[in-house]
Amino acid sequence: QVHLVESGGGLVQAGGSLRVSCAASGRTFNDYAMGWFRQAPGKEREFVAAITWRGPTTNYADSVKGRFTISRDIAKNTVDLQMNSLKPEDTAVYYCAAGGNGWPSYRRHDYDYWGQGTQVTVSS
């Protein structure tokens, strides 16, 4: 059974940095893509960034390009999202996801497994 467990969320001031991590277990993810999505109160879940285990190939939402960096550690089976220059509008629950099509898609339905999420709050 696949498990995705997020960690590292918290409260940070605008302009600050935070790193969230996703620990993946339960299967081999070599042919998978891993994504980060976020959902703010009253809004739909939106794509943030994604990465393939192989390559890797990355993909970012325009709103986070140049500020966020996604990376993966094959040995540890973890996927991290380094978030710099944070803004209040980055406040959301951040979810890790794993997709079997192997492409760093921005579409939610391309992901088969989801974590429970971790809260990131950016104060102004």
Residue recorded with tokens 């898609």: 105
C-alpha closest to that of 67 among 1, 10, 124, 17: 17
Say if CB 99 and CB 111 are below 8 A apart.
Answer: yes
Report the candidate in 29, 7, 1, 2 with the shortest Cα–Cα distance to residue 117. Answer: 7
Mean pLDDT by 10 residues, the chain (124 residues): 95 98 93 96 97 94 98 94 98 96 94 97 97
